[in-house]
Chain A
Amino acid sequence: MPPPKNPCAGVNPKAVNFVSANYKAAQAAAASINTTTANILGLSGNESDWGGSPIAQTYNNYFGLTYPYPGNNGQYASPNGITYSIYPSPGFPNSAMGFARGRQGRRVAALPAISPETFAWALTAPPMAFNSLNGTFQAYVDAIGTARAAINCVFGHN
């Protein structure tokens, strides 16, 4: 009988650490808008480079939320030319709830299905997309896949 497959083999270590640190807060935000924890973690992973981006590390914004987004307590003018919302600590739960309370949260909550593709489509399809840039739909779907693999690695389910 072959040995059981290591569920962490090949999973991005940054994603594993990110999921370990933020699973519970992601679960709460996901429940509030009727979606999956993996969808929230994948979205945030893509928008914050699995929590390693300067905007997440310094300004507690794990979703790339521009200014003004609900729940912010200030603004940060990035050298990249865009102004972002700052969130109070702890950053992940506060910015996740900010995302959930905004227009996009309501859009996700109204979806008839919770698959990664439906979730990513709702956030990237115009009009009034959360992020309509070229390639973002696939980037979200791929990041959600990585988040699911990381959840399986850490908790043994997804």
Chain B
Amino acid sequence: MGNKKRMMVKIIRHSLTAAFFVLLFFVGVRSQDQQTLATQSPQAEPLSLTEAEVLVYLLPRAREVRRQGGRIGWEVETGPSQNTTDFYNFWVVDNKQQGHIGSVTLGYFSVNKHTADVWDQVSDKVISPDEELQGIQKILRDGHHINAQTLEKYRDVNP
């Protein structure tokens, strides 16, 4: 009888231990699932044309033109020499200078749809953003789920 009782206690003890480990296993799996869900970033989305126009409008040189009383205008370039797959390309001018005999070109700028970087097409270089432009780029990148991996992937693509 004493042996039977000891045996029962042993079985119950082992069952409880096994149940505890089974519980731990499931808790572990569940928390791992939750972790995976949390770190899986949503798909990055490209910028819209309007968002690219905002970036061009807020370029430091464009802001300076507006500060001096000018008005920024642009023509979207879609010619065969343009990389329109990865970029929105703009010819930017001060269009307040109606009747000016000469040139009102501010520059040719390209906005990378995947990174929100802005290129100066003539110098073939990315424009160093000032604090304001950096702020807008961060908002757009966050909103479009553009992470470091996406930036690395598309940063070297030329307009």
Query: A interface vs B, CB < 8 Å?
Result: 12, 14, 45-47, 49-50, 52-55, 57-58, 63-66, 68-69, 78-82, 102-104, 129-131, 133-136, 139, 142-143, 146
Interchain CB contact under 8 A, B101 and A131: no
> What range describes how many residues of B lie at the interface?
20 to 34
Interchain CB contact under 8 A, A12 and B103: no
18 contacts between A and B (CB under 8 A): A12-B123, A46-B105, A53-B108, A54-B75, A58-B79, A63-B103, A65-B102, A66-B100, A80-B73, A81-B73, A131-B102, A131-B103, A134-B61, A136-B106, A139-B107, A139-B122, A142-B123, A143-B123
List of B residues within 8 angstroms of A78 by Cβ: 75, 91, 93
Interchain CB contact under 8 A, A64 and B104: yes
The yes or no answer to B149 lying at the interface (CB within 8 A) is: no
Interchain CB contact under 8 A, A133 and B106: yes
Partner among A53, A102, A142 whose Cβ is within 8 Å of the Cβ of B77? A53
Interchain CB contact under 8 A, B75 and A79: yes
Q: How far is the CA of A108 from the CA of B75 in the complex (A)?
A: 29
Interchain CB contact under 8 A, B103 and A130: yes
- Main SS of chain A's interface residues? loop
Nearest A residue to B71 via CB reads A81
Q: Given contact pairs A49-B91, A64-B105, A80-B75, enumerate 16 new A-B contacts (beta carbons under 8 Å).
A: A12-B123, A45-B122, A46-B107, A46-B122, A54-B75, A54-B79, A55-B91, A58-B79, A63-B103, A81-B93, A81-B98, A82-B97, A130-B102, A131-B103, A135-B61, A139-B107
Nearest 3 A-B pairs (CB), nearest first?
A81-B95, A64-B103, A81-B73
Interchain CB contact under 8 A, B79 and A57: yes
Interchain CB contact under 8 A, A49 and B61: no
Interchain CB contact under 8 A, B102 and A134: no
List of B residues within 8 angstroms of A142 by Cβ: 122-123
List of A residues within 8 angstroms of B107 by Cβ: 46, 135, 139
Q: How far is the CA of A146 from the CA of B122 in the complex (A)?
A: 9
